[in-house]
């Protein structure tokens, strides 16, 4: 493989992938995917993603409670997340945010725990991974209010407008594009991705969800991030190799794996180059 790719957002411990992790990671390596950020969505999930990150050199973890689970969070849970975050391979707090599309938890409850987890990230000295769906204005408002305490972050599966993209870029955030970028009807997302500065863009699978073309509808996995890389390359008129190089570097920068934070560097920990 002549290039290496990073998948900035995966859920390797969701039921669809959890029992075939070895095979999934081996296919990822064959595709050149040598860095995977395994994202927590709740208490138990956060414990699992850290365990997986501890086991595999190329896997890093984030801990947090997804807005869907906001209604069942207790104050003690934040302490548990903080304890999990002490592991050297935990690179961010996330995914946290607001989801007013499915509204599995009341809006105000989502907003409360979003703020609490942003504060947790500040205390822990870590960037944040943000999920927002049909809630961009409220998400931006909360991030802008807490701007002084923000240490950087990633808007995952970004599908907002160019104006929204700029608002998040102004906060110092990276924008991460998923397999949605390859969907025939996603022209608006492609138009935005085309204009995002190449030093602020990441690619992700959000696997097992959102498999890109030509695997759409199947269980997604990190190896498929190659399709999103190819689409991003086309949009910017650069090679897939160059896109891989840039998004790899951006992923290191976004999660402070380039030595900015106290995290170990990928070069040290990941055997492959």
- Site of interaction with Zn ion (CB under 5 A): 131, 206
Question: Minimal CB distance to Zn ion: which residue?
Answer: 131
Reported as type and span, the H/E element at residue 124 is helix 107-124
Q: Which is nearer to Zn ion, 7 or 58 (CB)?
A: 7
Distance CA 132, CA 265 (A): 29
Minimum CB–partner distance for residue 148 and Zn ion (Å):
25
Q: Which is nearer to Zn ion, 89 or 131 (CB)?
A: 131
Q: Which is nearer to Zn ion, 77 or 204 (CB)?
A: 204
Q: Which is nearer to Zn ion, 139 or 240 (CB)?
A: 139
CA distances from 93 to 20, 65, 217, 224, 243 (A): 26, 9, 29, 25, 26
Minimum CB–partner distance for residue 73 and Zn ion (Å):
17
Q: Which is nearer to Zn ion, 4 or 131 (CB)?
A: 131
Minimum CB–partner distance for residue 146 and Zn ion (Å):
20
Minimum CB–partner distance for residue 11 and Zn ion (Å):
6
Quick one: how many helices (H) and strands (E) in the chain?
A: 11, 8
Q: Which is nearer to Zn ion, 111 or 206 (CB)?
A: 206
Q: Which is nearer to Zn ion, 32 or 40 (CB)?
A: 40
Spatial contact of 250 and 202, defined as CB atoms under 8 Å apart: yes
Minimum CB–partner distance for residue 193 and Zn ion (Å):
17
Q: Two tokens at 36?
A: 């995977």
Minimum CB–partner distance for residue 242 and Zn ion (Å):
27
Q: Cα dihedral sign for 255, 260, 262, 267?
A: positive
Q: Which residue has the tokens 């595999």?
A: 56
Distance CA 235, CA 47 (A): 38
For residue 108, the number of C-alpha atoms closer than 13 Å in the C-beta half-sphere is: 0
Nearest to 173 by CA among 197, 190, 192: 197
Minimum CB–partner distance for residue 10 and Zn ion (Å):
8
Beta bridge partners of 92: 62
């Amino acid at each position: 493989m002549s290039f290496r790719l990073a998948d900035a957002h995966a859920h390797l411990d969701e039921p669809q992938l959890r029992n075939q992790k070895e095979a999934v990671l081996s296919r990822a390596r064959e595709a050149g995917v040598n860095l995977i950020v395994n994202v927590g969505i709740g208490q138990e999930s956060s414990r699992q993603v850290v365990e997986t990150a501890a086991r595999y050199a190329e896997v890093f973890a984030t801990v947090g409670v997804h807005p869907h689970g906001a209604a069942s969070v207790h104050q003690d849970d934040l302490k548990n997340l903080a304890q999990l975050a002490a592991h050297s391979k935990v690179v961010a707090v996330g995914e946290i945010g607001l989801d007013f599309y499915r509204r599995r938890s009341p809006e105000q409850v989502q907003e409360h725990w979003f703020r609490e987890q942003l504060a947790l990230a500040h205390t822990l000295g870590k960037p944040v991974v943000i999920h927002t769906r049909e809630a961009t204005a409220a998400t931006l408002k909360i991030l802008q209010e807490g701007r002084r305490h923000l240490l950087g972050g990633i808007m995952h599966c970004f599908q907002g407008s160019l104006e929204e993209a700029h608002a998040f870029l102004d906060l110092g955030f990276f924008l991460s594009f998923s397999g949605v970028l390859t969907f025939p009807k996603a022209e608006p997302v492609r138009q935005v991705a085309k204009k995002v500065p190449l030093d602020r863009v990441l690619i992700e699978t959000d696997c097992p969800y959102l498999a890109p073309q030509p695997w759409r509808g199947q269980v997604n996995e990190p190896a498929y991030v190659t399709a999103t890389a190819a689409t991003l390359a086309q949009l910017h008129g650069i090679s897939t190799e160059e896109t891989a190089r840039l998004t790899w570097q951006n992923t290191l920068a976004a999660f402070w794996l380039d030595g900015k934070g106290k995290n170990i560097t990928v070069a040290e920990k990941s055997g492959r180059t």
